[in-house]
């Protein structure tokens, strides 16, 4: 009966999990949809005038009827000047939107709206007010651009309007500072709409009132927020909440705004957000907006968008919930400084989704997740994670490169550095004063990875981040009667931009019948490198990267005869940090070893019946070994780490 119960529980877990199978099609769609906001190349450059002022607060007041694609608003911006010589305050706003008037100190002022830039003459002289404010009154029909930044649709015959501004769309529907250099310190969002409808937005719902057939909802957000993460959605929402209980007795509200016709079905799906957030809290620190809320607002397409404190969701699958929630740490709390480094948002979110698959749902879908990503990444020979052209929005949100390859770079770094080191580095990156609630560069992430691991990652990022393609590994292996296994590791690269990927390669050796196995980590620094290992048994099969730690394709693992040659001298490990071991054939003895640098200068000299040599006194470099044996002399090259 106990055995039957165990089988039943396993099958129940499997059936439940099978409904949550990873779907790359979903994330391909997310990327294509975000790219679809701009059907042609978008040429947007941040205005240099932006550096002259910092936004401290914005009050956004909008009138919206979701049955009519139209917006009317008043945006009041409080700011602190950095430059007393400033001649104008400038905002981004598409040319087709009408600016009715602008007020400073409640006085109407002149303005120029040209080339999608709104310029407001402003010169405080030597007395810089701290802070000052400007109110822009405007109205219009925002441009339609694919799955646009301001979209009107229907669900069950009911109209809905939603916004999605990433990367360059905020300026299409409100006058803003479209910047990746200045977060708004805090915002209030005030939306008035017909009484039938309700508004979902960032932060905490401060009030909801009905008057003369109209409903006004006020959302307050008191954390720094990037412009593209400000959002509203208006339709006949109903709401309910789940809660994440914290160890200190507090709780985090997960507020869900959904369509009435989907209420019961959605309740069963959003509940899984609780255990996902509990996992992320353990891995990356408690959700940084816990004093307000996290939420979902249903909207009109199958992907999702990580608007700060309230993700807009077209579906409620496990992987989509996990992906969008992870953005609250990677993308919202810490935001990329340039769209060139989109992997700091999307690569991290996809990687963290993989962690959810590893740690939840019994872990059954984690191998599937890894396999699908590797297959998708290696389906084409080229492509870098680094985005060279940020005017090409389809390239920014390329699923194969920005999402999947970006995620797998983090996965490989975890393998290279160890779990303990990798997660310490990532948490240091999140919590550093330079990045917390602010913007981050690729260099800042690398700094924390290198500092935590006490190593350089220049070669890794040159190959895997800026370079293109991936390696294909193959091996030849031979084993002698003492179980010593000689592995010859080869690689071919898929793209000419990288001649060789220096990488630690995992291999697994199996005995006959696969009743036992042992893993080895081969520090692969050049093609055709030879490794000598001892599995402790006669190997019947070797697999390269069986747990899918690497972006690679795997070729043949070929068993070849062990050739006893009196001159054979096997040196392992190579490269080595502390010492090398030496094995010879036919009982040949090594009587002397001279270590020379590449210029021929003698660095060390050892004599006796040598089976190992200490290297700890030598600096890291490439060395030549001059080896004297009872069978003659030979030369070998080693690398000291």
3-state secondary structure string across 178-218: CCCCCCECCEEEEEEEECCCEEEECCEEEEEEEECCEEEEE
CATH class given for the domain over 564-641: mainly beta
In the chain, ranges of CATH 2.60.40.1910 domains: 470-563
* Rounded Cα–Cα distance for residues 362 and 237 (Å): 34
pLDDT recorded at residue 80: 93
- Whether residue 162 contacts residue 30, with contact meaning beta carbons closer than 8 Å, is answered with no
In the chain, ranges of CATH 2.60.40.1930 domains: 564-641
pLDDT recorded at residue 587: 64
DSSP one-letter code for 330: B
Residues β-bridged to residue 201: 232
pLDDT recorded at residue 248: 92
* Rounded Cα–Cα distance for residues 264 and 413 (Å): 41
* Rounded Cα–Cα distance for residues 90 and 176 (Å): 9
pLDDT recorded at residue 585: 62
pLDDT recorded at residue 628: 85
Mean pLDDT by runs of 10 across the 641 residues of the chain is: 32 42 69 54 59 94 98 97 88 97 95 96 73 96 78 97 94 95 97 98 98 98 98 98 96 98 96 98 98 97 93 96 98 97 97 97 94 97 96 91 98 97 98 97 97 96 98 92 88 96 96 93 91 91 96 90 64 82 74 85 86 87 85 79 81
* Rounded Cα–Cα distance for residues 316 and 232 (Å): 19
- Whether residue 576 contacts residue 616, with contact meaning beta carbons closer than 8 Å, is answered with no
* Rounded Cα–Cα distance for residues 588 and 632 (Å): 10
3-state secondary structure string across 30-68: HHHHHHHCCCCCCCCCCCHHHHHEEEEEEEEEEECCCCC
The CATH number of the domain covering residues in 470-563: 2.60.40.1910
Instruction: Give me the residue label for tokens 């009050």.
Output: 59
- Crossing angle between the packed helical segments 406-417 and 366-377, to the nearest 10 degrees: 120
């Amino acid at each position: 009966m106990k055995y039957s119960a165990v089988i039943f529980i396993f099958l129940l877990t499997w059936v439940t999990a099978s409904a949550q199978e990873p779907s790359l099609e979903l994330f391909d769609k997310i990327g294509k949809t975000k790219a679809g906001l701009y059907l042609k190349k978008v040429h947007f450059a941040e205005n240099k005038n932006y550096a002259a002022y910092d936004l401290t607060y914005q009050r956004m007041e909008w009138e919206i009827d979701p049955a009519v694609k139209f917006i009317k608003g008043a945006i009041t911006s409080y700011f602190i000047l950095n430059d007393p010589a400033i001649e104008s305050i400038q905002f981004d706003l598409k040319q087709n939107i009408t600016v009715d008037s602008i007020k400073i100190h409640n006085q109407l002022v002149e303005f120029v709206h040209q080339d999608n830039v709104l310029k407001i003459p402003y010169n405080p002289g030597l007395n810089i007010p701290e802070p000052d404010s400007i109110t822009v009154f405007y109205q219009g029909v925002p441009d339609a651009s694919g799955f646009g930044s301001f979209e009107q649709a229907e669900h069950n015959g009911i109209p809905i309007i939603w916004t999605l501004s990433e990367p360059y769309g905020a300026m299409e529907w409100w006058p803003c500072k479209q910047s990746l250099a200045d977060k708004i310190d805090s915002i209030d969002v005030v939306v008035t709409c017909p009484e039938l409808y309700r508004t979902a937005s960032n932060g905490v719902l401060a009030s909801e009132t009905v008057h003369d057939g109209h409903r006004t909802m006020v959302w307050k957000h008191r954390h720094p927020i990037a412009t593209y993460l400000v959002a509203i959605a208006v339709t006949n929402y109903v709401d309910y909440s789940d809660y994440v209980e914290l160890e200190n007795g507090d709780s985090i509200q997960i507020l869900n705004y959904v369509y009435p016709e989907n209420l019961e079905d959605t309740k069963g799906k959003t509940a899984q957000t609780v255990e996902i957030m509990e996992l992320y809290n353990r891995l990356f620190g408690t959700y940084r907006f816990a004093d307000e809320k996290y939420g979902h607002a249903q909207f009109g397409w199958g992907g999702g968008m990580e608007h700060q404190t309230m993700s807009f969701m077209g579906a409620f699958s496990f992987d989509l919930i996990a992906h969008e929630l992870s953005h609250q740490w990677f993308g919202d709390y810490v935001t990329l400084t340039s769209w060139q480094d989109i992997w700091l948002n999307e690569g991290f979110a996809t990687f963290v989704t993989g962690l959810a698959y590893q740690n939840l749902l019994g872990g059954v879908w984690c191998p599937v997740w890894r396999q699908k990503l590797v297959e998708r990444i290696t389906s084409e020979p080229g492509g870098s994670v680094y985005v060279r052209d940020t005017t090409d929005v389809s390239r920014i949100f390329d699923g194969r490169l920005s999402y999947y390859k970006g995620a797998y770079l983090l996965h490989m770094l975890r393998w290279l550095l160890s779990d303990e080191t990798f997660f310490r580095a990532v948490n240091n990156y999140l919590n550093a004063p330079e990045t917390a609630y602010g913007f981050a560069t690729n260099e800042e992430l690398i700094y924390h990875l290198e500092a935590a691991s006490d190593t350089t990652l220049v070669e890794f990022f040159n190959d895997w981040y800026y370079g293109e393609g991936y390696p294909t590994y193959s091996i030849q292996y031979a084993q002698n009667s003492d179980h010593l296994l000689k592995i010859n590791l080869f690689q071919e690269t898929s793209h000419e931009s990288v001649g060789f990927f220096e990488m630690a390669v995992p291999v697994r050796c199996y005995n006959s019948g696969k009743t036992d196995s042992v893993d080895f980590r081969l520090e692969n620094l050049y093609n055709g490198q030879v490794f000598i290992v001892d599995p402790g048994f006669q190997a019947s099969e070797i697999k390269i990267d069986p747990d899918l730690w690497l972006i690679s394709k795997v070729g043949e693992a070929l068993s070849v005869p062990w050739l006893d040659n009196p001159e054979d001298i096997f040196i392992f490990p190579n490269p080595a940090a502390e010492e090398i071991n030496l094995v010879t054939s036919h009982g040949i003895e090594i009587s002397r070893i001279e270590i020379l640098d590449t210029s021929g200068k003698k660095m060390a000299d050892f004599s006796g019946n040598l089976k190992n040599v200490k290297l700890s006194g030598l600096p890291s470099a490439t060395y030549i070994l001059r080896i004297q044996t009872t069978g003659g002399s030979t030369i070998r090259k080693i690398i000291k780490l």
